[in-house]
Structure 1
């Protein structure tokens, strides 16, 4: 494979560069999303629909702990991209070493904490009634592998910051394929049930970690650290923390949203409504995979060029990314609006779930076409190191708008109010993001 330099981020044409960065990211996210979908289909058909709800209950806790690694990865990678753009290699190395130390300390600590309070956390996140027992089995095994997932999420972002999207894609493809293979072996052949599903997922984390470790030890990585880089440096930790807090807040809000929606829906429709939300939740990453791919491809380009003070290129990549992502989002939107019944039948044969999920899916994804601007706008501020606006824009969609709406609207519309809160919050957060992004372009990029 030809050696790729991070300096390509500042020289190649923006359109070509964005495609080069975004396509591997999109493929990786697509395969990971398909993995989640197929995994859910396997669990639903081989174990039962209650097992789908059980996994959905566990996800907020495991995702939050894994998000610690992602937050450290995204925050540090923003610094690494700008440091490499400014030819400050030593700072990039120190940041990477600090990322490894922080990821280990935080993920292990929170995993221990999560295991200790297992019987409290599962019911709090909606794991009640028949859901509790399978959820506990899945939860305890998954948390053993969550620190490894934290390192995978951190390392993947650093690989992308180096301008190596293909290797970042491989790091997502390997565990996705591995998880499906392990699913078949542990669930279908050995009949381990929920434990088999959990060990399949944990095993896939380990495989991905080994690949990422190989990458950083190989000649492909420009970041060759030594022991001196692992010692925590207060200014670097502060900068990683400020930017990483944006990602962590987003993931924390996702976890809280799962908790609140699971409990609210359980009050309206019991296990059936919780299962419907689990299916819609599985579809959300799949539905948005093109937009997430463009966003991940956009971040290192924007950060590197901002560090190199190539502000015209920064502005160009903003507009190009929004245009590409919006077109792809419209295509996905059309598929979801036309085929929700077909999609639902892939997950379950439960007549009650089949009756309510398609309509709810249409409501949940009604605003996808406009969401590209919101996601890329928030990502821009994180890429250039402006933590406060990035945090505000990240929280608008769910914390500021969705959570209040999911309590207010059911007072007038019942359970439907929870589902229509999704598109309304998407619309409001996009309007706010447009204001901030337009102001930034006018006052910073145009003047520069």
Structure 2
């Protein structure tokens, strides 16, 4: 599906534009989510629920590295897009070269530190008791692939910056399919267990990076960098860092939450509680893909029309994005509430985990029908270039509201306190975001339209 061009963003009906923008974004998120979901099912059924918990322990590391690559990618891609539009090929190439350099420098340093302190870091991430040994096997191999993962995430955003969404989508599909095939071969056929799961994950990163490298070396890419482009340009790094900070902060908070929850749940219920959270977390990633797709599709529409002073269209895009995303969220809510037992049994044969997961899942998804207000609201501020409110509202749900709740409520309600923290954080952040969004719409969009009407009359 072709993306709408600039003129269409300001002319086509908002509803049609939202669908046109949201579908490819949703497909990309869906592919990645299915990969994570099926990977967890394979590991749970072929190795065991402890293996699911072990992977969940290592997930904060993978998330943070992926976030680092995305932050460098998004920050640099914004510069590249504008540079290509201004026919400044020199700056575009220099930015891309700096993206590669800084990604390699940072991630290789992280690999060295991670391997040096492996026995201290795994327990800190929640890899205790029976989880420690499989988590260590998985962690070590996945860490080898960290620079490749970061480069792949960075390179994918640059492909989009060049206006090649189909290549970017293929870059997401290849590692997903590759990981599932390698899971089957390494775990089920060759019986390599946790080592097989780890090499399947790292192998999928390598496949993705191989495709991205082919893209940039082929005639499909405009960015043919020279050796001199790898030299650090601090003005570019500064701009790149400022633009990518929101993305990095959001994903860093996710990593911190995984770390905290793995430790809290292990203390409260041992390995099985960590496995329950791993299943619930995978479902959160998978089930919300269309809601996140609508949110991503909303961004360029709101940004373009705001910049063009089409404030009525901006208000319409906010309302319809919330309406569409809420409709999808309600469907997700219904499925989770009706079929939690069936969903849990797909992931594992561990009867205790199957018994405990449905209640946790229902609590975690309890406030999902209203979450679109928080997601669209925070995305709106990002779309119009207001970085500070965008950052604060983006992390309000998972950071500002959720982290204090999971540190306080389990002391009084035990494991239930963990699960009820999810809907409470969703509710609190939605109220806060709704307030600021309403105020912004009233003070900026409605007031500006009224001012224009007075001027024209």
Shared fold per TM-score greater than 0.5: yes
Equivalent position of 2:293 in the other structure = 293
Equivalent position of 1:43 in the other structure = 43
Equivalent position of 1:194 in the other structure = 194
Alignment RMSD: 2.8
Deviation at 1:61, TM superposition (A): 1.4
Equivalent position of 2:24 in the other structure = 24
Q: Where does 1:121-270 land on structure 2 (aligned, <5 Å)?
A: 121-221=121-221, 223=223, 225-227=225-227, 229-270=229-270
Residues 71, 428 of structure 1: alpha-carbon distance in 2 compared, 3 angstrom cutoff: same
1:316 and 1:86 mapped to 2: Cα distance?
Answer: 31
1:319 and 1:160 mapped to 2: Cα distance?
Answer: 27
- Deviation larger for 228-237 or 419-428: 228-237
Residues 296, 162 of structure 1: alpha-carbon distance in 2 compared, 3 angstrom cutoff: farther
Equivalent position of 2:375 in the other structure = 375
- Deviation larger for 364-373 or 314-323: 314-323
Q: Provide, for residues 426-447 of structure 1, a one-character-per-residue CA deviation record: whole Å limited to 9, x for no partner.
A: 1111222223333444444553
Q: Which runs of 5+ in 2 are unaligned?
A: 450-457
1:148 and 1:307 mapped to 2: Cα distance?
Answer: 37
Residue 191 of structure 2: SS of its match in structure 1?
Answer: coil
Equivalent position of 1:420 in the other structure = 420
Deviation at 1:351, TM superposition (A): 1.4
Equivalent position of 2:76 in the other structure = 76
Asked which structure has the greater CA Rg, the reply is: 2
Residues 235, 380 of structure 1: alpha-carbon distance in 2 compared, 3 angstrom cutoff: farther
Deviation at 1:195, TM superposition (A): 0.8
Residues 267, 421 of structure 1: alpha-carbon distance in 2 compared, 3 angstrom cutoff: same
Q: Provide, for residues 195-232 of structure 1, a one-character-per-residue CA deviation record: whole Å limited to 9, x for no partner.
A: 11011111111111222233344455455555555444
Residue 409 of structure 1: SS of its match in structure 2?
Answer: helix
Q: Where does 1:282-431 land on structure 2 (aligned, <5 Å)?
A: 282-303=282-303, 314-431=314-431
- Deviation larger for 304-313 or 418-427: 304-313
Equivalent position of 2:455 in the other structure = none
1:18 and 1:87 mapped to 2: Cα distance?
Answer: 30
Deviation at 1:38, TM superposition (A): 1.1
Contact 2:306 2:314 in 1 (8 A): yes
Deviation at 1:63, TM superposition (A): 1.6
Contact 2:410 2:418 in 1 (8 A): yes
What count of residue pairs does the alignment treat as equivalent? 447
Q: TM-score, normalised by structure 1?
A: 0.90
Deviation at 1:93, TM superposition (A): 5.0
Q: Which runs of 5+ in 1 are unaligned?
A: none
Contact 1:6 1:162 in 2 (8 A): no
Residues 37, 304 of structure 1: alpha-carbon distance in 2 compared, 3 angstrom cutoff: same
